[in-house]
Amino acid sequence: MSITAPVLSAVGPVRAGQLWQDMAPDMVDRERMLRVVAVGATHADCVVERDNRPGAAGRKARPLALRRFATSAFTLIEDVVDDADQLVYARFLAAMTDVQGGSPSPVEYATAALRVHKELTAEAAKGQG
């Protein structure tokens, strides 16, 4: 498939790596989920990552029209995470796990997140100057 400008779904661009649940009435009970492996100008190639029907998981699905992702036919389950986002997420997660005590309060978690946010903002400002 060729690489083109991303086609927007209800939640943003359809991109390779995303996991979508098929919301067709006959597929919801099967918990059918499709992983996008390539995005073309009008269609996406997907692999069935999960399906309760024996033998269906791991098979290639027929190409899906990108416009269908902008409808209620599919629900985004897992988006693609960029490496930079993954590093920032790891810093926030580390701050959350550093909160001590038997039952930390939401305020303590928020304070830890705010500290990381301020650190990231300062680093970004330093990098631009």
In CATH, the architecture of 8-78 is: Roll (2.30)
Query: For the chain, which residues make up each domain, given as ranges?
Result: 8-78, 83-128
Per-residue model confidence as pLDDT tens digits over 50-75: 999 888 888 899 999 999 999 999 99
pTM (predicted TM-score): 0.60
114/7: higher pLDDT:
114
Nearest CA to 2 among 33, 42, 29?
42
Confidence of residue 129 (pLDDT cuts 50, 70, 90): low
Per-residue model confidence as pLDDT tens digits over 68-99: 999 999 999 998 877 777 778 778 878 888 88
Whole-number Å distance between alpha carbons of 45 and 51:
17
With contact defined as beta carbons under 8 Å apart, do 69 and 77 qualify? Answer: no
